[in-house]
C-alpha cells in the first residue's frame, strides 16, 4: 500500500492543526478592540492584515514592520511578517521571522508549523521535523478531542466572550453555544467554564 514519507505525513498533520487554529483566530479577531492612529502598533498590524488579504504583500510587509518598530516584542506581527516574506520568496528572512515569533511566544502553534513547512520546502526535512512535531503536540494539547466548532467556541470562551457574543460572532444560536460549551467541558473534564478557559488558553493579541 502506498504511504507518504514520514516528513510529508508530519507536514499534512501539522498543517491540519494550524488550519484549525487559524480558523479560531479569524473568528475571535472580530471581537478585538483596536486602537486608532498611525502610532498604534495593533492598528498598523490590522492594516497589514487587510493588505495581506488583498494580496498586496509589499504593503502588508511594510505595515507589519512598522508595527514591530513600535512594539518589537509583537509575535503576531512577526509571524505575519514571516508569512509575507515567504510569499515574496525571501525564505531566509522568513525563517528568521518565524524563529523570532517562536522566541517571543513559545506556546503558539502557528510559527512552529510555518517554520517546519518552510524548511521542508527547502528539502531540510531533518531540521523541519522537530518544529512540525511541536506544532502537532501544542495544537493537540489545547484542542484534543474537540470538533472544529467546539474549538472555535472554547477559544472564544477563553477570551472572555459571553454566550451571546459567541453566538453573534459565529452566527449560531444561543442554545447551540451552550451545547458546544457543555460538550467541550465534558470532553476535556472541566468542571466549569473557568477551567475550560484556562485549559484552552487565549489567543488574544497582547495589547
pLDDT in tens, 35-66: 445 789 989 988 998 898 888 999 999 999 99
**Residue listed under C-alpha cell 493579541:** 205
Domains with residue ranges and CATH for the chain: 6-143 (1.25.40.10), 148-200 (1.10.10.10)
Query: Given this model, what pLDDT does residue 27 score?
Result: 41
Which of 165 and 207 is assigned the larger pLDDT? 165
Which of 161 and 48 is assigned the larger pLDDT? 48
Query: Given this model, what pLDDT does residue 31 score?
Result: 35
Residue 135 has a CB neighbour count (10 Å cut-off) of: 29
The mean pLDDT value of the chain amounts to 79
Q: Which residues contact 19 (CB under 8 A, 6 or more apart)?
A: none
Query: Given this model, what pLDDT does residue 144 score?
Result: 73
**pLDDT tens digits for range 108-155:** 777 888 898 889 888 898 898 888 888 777 666 667 778 878 888 887
Q: Do 60 and 88 meet the contact criterion of CB atoms below 8 Å apart?
A: no
Evaluate if residue 160 carries a pLDDT over 90: no
Secondary structure of the chain in the HEC alphabet?
CCCCCHHHHHHHHHHHHHHHHHHHHHHHHHHCCCCCCCCCHHHHHHHHHHHHHCCCHHHHHHHHHHHHHHCCCCHHHHHHHHHHHHHCCCHHHHHHHHHHHHHHCCCCHHHHHHHHHHHHCCCCHHHHHHHHHHHHHHHHHHHCCCCHHHHHHHHHHHCCCCHHHHHHHHCCCHHHHHHHHHHHHHHCCCCCHHHHHHHHCCCCCCC
The average pLDDT across 152-180 equals 85
Residue 28 has a CB neighbour count (10 Å cut-off) of: 21
Evaluate if residue 5 carries a pLDDT over 70: no
Amino acid at each position: 500500500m502506498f504511504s507518504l514519507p514520514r516528513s510529508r505525513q508530519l507536514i499534512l498533520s501539522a498543517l491540519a492543526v494550524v488550519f484549525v487554529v487559524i480558523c479560531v483566530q479569524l473568528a475571535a479577531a472580530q471581537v478585538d478592540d483596536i486602537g486608532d492612529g498611525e502610532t498604534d502598533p495593533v492598528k498598523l498590524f490590522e492594516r497589514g492584515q487587510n493588505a495581506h488579504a488583498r494580496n498586496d504583500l509589499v504593503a502588508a510587509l511594510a505595515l507589519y514592520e512598522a508595527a514591530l518598530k513600535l512594539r518589537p516584542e509583537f509575535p503576531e506581527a512577526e509571524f505575519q511578517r514571516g508569512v509575507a516574506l515567504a510569499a515574496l520568496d525571501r525564505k531566509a528572512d522568513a525563517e528568521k521571522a518565524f524563529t523570532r515569533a517562536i522566541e517571543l511566544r513559545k506556546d503558539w502553534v502557528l510559527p512552529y508549523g510555518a517554520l517546519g513547512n518552510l524548511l521542508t520546502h527547502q528539502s531540510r526535512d531533518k531540521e523541519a521535523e522537530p518544529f512540525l512535531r511541536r506544532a502537532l503536540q501544542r495544537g493537540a494539547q489545547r484542542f484534543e478531542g474537540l470538533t472544529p466548532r467546539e474549538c472555535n467556541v472554547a477559544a472564544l470562551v477563553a477570551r472572555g466572550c459571553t454566550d451571546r457574543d459567541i453566538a453573534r460572532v459565529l452566527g449560531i444560536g444561543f442554545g447551540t453555544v451552550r451545547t458546544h460549551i457543555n460538550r467541550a467541558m465534558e470532553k476535556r473534564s472541566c468542571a466549569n467554564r473557568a477551567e475550560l478557559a484556562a485549559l484552552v488558553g487565549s489567543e488574544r493579541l497582547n495589547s
